[in-house]
Structure 1
Amino acid sequence: MSSLPYTCNTCLVAFRGSDAQRDHMRKDWHLYNMKRRIAALPPVSQETFNDKVLAAKATTTAAAAKATFETTCVACQKTFYSENSYQNHVKSSKHKAREARANRDAADDSSSVMSSTFSLGEPINKPRESEVSKVADTLKDTTITEENENEDEDEEMSDDAFSPSRCLFCSTKSADIQENTEHMYKAHGMFIPEKDFLVNPEGLLHYLYRKINENSECLYCHMIRNTPTGIRTHMRDKGHCMIAFETEAEQIEIGQYYDFRSTYSDDEGDWESAASETAEGGVKVEGSGEDEGWETDASSMDEDEDDEDDLENRKSAPVVYATDYELHLPSGKSVGHRSLARYFRQNLHNYPTADERAARQLAIENGEIEPEEPKPRGRNLNRALVTRANGGTGMIGTSDAQKHDVQIGERKERQRALRQEQRFTARINRAANHQKHFRDPLLQ
């Protein structure tokens, strides 16, 4: 399909020339798939569409045949225009009583005739009963045959062993699993999510096969039906021939057939290894001999450049103080966890150095200074207000240069507003100057 230049995305077909493509757009099959696309349903193949057309024509022919039906009951003197109503009438007790009475009257009339060669013959409605019984037997045999065919098809799809080359939603058999997945995508709209990371496609199809045939469960909405055929019909009619892969539970359900280890970063899992550390009041004390993922500022999170001796000295060195994400040593070096490497690499302006942070932390622990309280959210009602009247700018904590820039911006905005007002006034005056000359007739 990819080698052909002209395609139809609605019906999932391709053409060699534009004339064939335009001719396809005028066909009923394309229009039918367009309506299904508007209704968020997958397209159907041309074979399926032809079967639907033949079934619709057969239904129309049967309805027309029923519409032309007309028969009369001689015993009851009634005319019927529907085969069902006539069959119900024949089975009613009133019809049977009247028919028996008519037969008795006919027998009495025949016994009164002296000639043995004269015979009234068989009752008039008897041949009709035989015809009706034949039609009923034919319909019964046809129904039984169709039911047997459906049962055979169900047994064929459910009792056979699993095959990766067989479609999950119909009885189509492909050459291999790749062709089978392409058939299910084109014919039923089923696509396999995260196909690049799928390592066991056959196991995934086997799991979906068991859900359909053993549990009679819909792959998308997880609805349960009585039979596998019923759930297949539900998925085809509702457009649920797809794998549910939206919620976390649905992803975990089929996650055993995928391998996402190639997407993992080298930093994942390091912070989890440090979960066994002892913490008191949110401050960690380094006492274990294992590498817990801490790195220094000077090394910029590069462990390869550290010598083993320096690493042992850093582990055994006393700790000034430690938080969940930083360690500060007496030497003045700071150690940060590698899970926050992207933040430690940033070059922040006006950020205190390691010595300043260590000195502040010691002062807080010794009680020399008070720790900063978190800033309240919203408006601070205790701050001083500076009015904008009498030339005030109303800006607190800003430099003179910033205030000067704000004044220049406000002056430019006022001048722009004044120019706009002058343009509007000039336009009004110009329109008033082109009025017709007014002359008072009394002054002439």
Structure 2
Amino acid sequence: MDSVLTVPSGSSIPTNAQNTPLFTCIACQVAFYSAEQQRTHYRSDWHRYNLKRKVADLPPVTAESFAQRVLSQQAQAVENTKRAEFSADCSVCKKTYGTENSFNNHLNSKKHKETEARMLRRMQEDEDVRAEQEAIAESIAAAVAQVPGPAEGSADDEQPRVLKATDFPMSDEESDEDSGEIEDGEQSMEVEVGDSEELVRRKEEREIKRQLHQATTEEEVVKLLEKKKAAAPRLSPDADCIFCPHQSDSFESNMEHMSLAHSLFVPDLEFIVDLRGLIKYLADKVSVANVCLYCNGRGRALQSLEAVRRHMLDKGHTKIAYETEIDILEISDFYDFSSTYPDADEADADMQLDVVRPGGRQSAAPRMEEDEGELVLPSGTRIGHRSLQRYYKQTIPSEQPEKESVVIHKMLTNYANNPEYNNQLIQSSRNRAVILAQPNGQRAWKDIATFKENRARQNFQTRVGVKANRLQIFYREQNPQ
């Protein structure tokens, strides 16, 4: 089939068209009446486009169709430029997106919706707190305005009137709720001091927490931490349980509750000298510093006493950290391991007490007391004369309060009778304190740990070898052919 040649619409037709030869373009299937028109056509984009289609074995396109394609490509380029310049910010998640599609996908994502809900809930809580504070301020202002002023010349001019709980007005709903507490028809307003103090404390802690997140300087952080420390609740070792809101009548019953209900184990109990002080320190650590007793600051930060208690109960961390050297040194002030120290040499007992400094002055070292015949060092160790060596070698129990000694003796008996504490008792009893007290004790303790690790590894390899029946280190064919 022969190709049909067409004449471009823009070309001029000469008068002698029938006798004039045509200049054709095979790629575009068009004809021209002059060579100049043909050369101009060869330099056009339409001709180049049809040449590429001819190489790909595609039919040529007309000039009108090529013009439409050029216009569509220009519109597409403009749209792509607009997309490239697109930029959207998410104020909730603090993120920036460069394309509209990714921004729309983010708005419909679950994470964005959860973050937005959290932000709205936090804003609502702040608004409620602000409204409540304004209501309290208005109530106080109204109560102060209702107080009558003192008469002129009276003796009460210099003594301000003390506001009572009955001076503050209450709403109708609050009065209806408290009507059940009114006895004998007495129309008075009663305020529970404990609940109000707890509510105020929680609001103050929440406000301090919000200010800590917004603090920018170290001075502000230190000031807020001191304020948080002053506002934090204090747990009494005689009544309050460290791990739950349980209240006890005495220190002994409180220790019994924590041991039975929460499996609290006090390590090296026979060497402790201040059990009440240790429990008080642990209680302040939980209530004031909001630190888990076992994590000891190595986990995530907790913000309240309830959060620390919930963490310790959920994780089973109702125990004292006593594994690393830092944990042991932290509570070492409540222990006395002097009975496990090796005896000093006789030469050390006769050492010089007055140390001469380079300037020629003598240091104010403690001197031997002639009456008692012993020397008390700054560390608390007592050094006696060599003539009384037989007496100083005796192991004299430390002086403890009678009540604490009874509690410690009872706890030791419970630990010995309860098989749950056997492994902990064997692990912590004397071994660590005795080894660490020796010269190079820390290295010896590490050597023991390394020995135990190697022995466990060898036992495991032996079990694997026996089970697999591959004790030989070489292979020998049993039935050679």
TM range (shorter): under 0.3
Task: With the length of structure 1 as denominator, give the TM-score of the two structures.
Answer: 0.26
Task: With the length of structure 2 as denominator, give the TM-score of the two structures.
Answer: 0.24
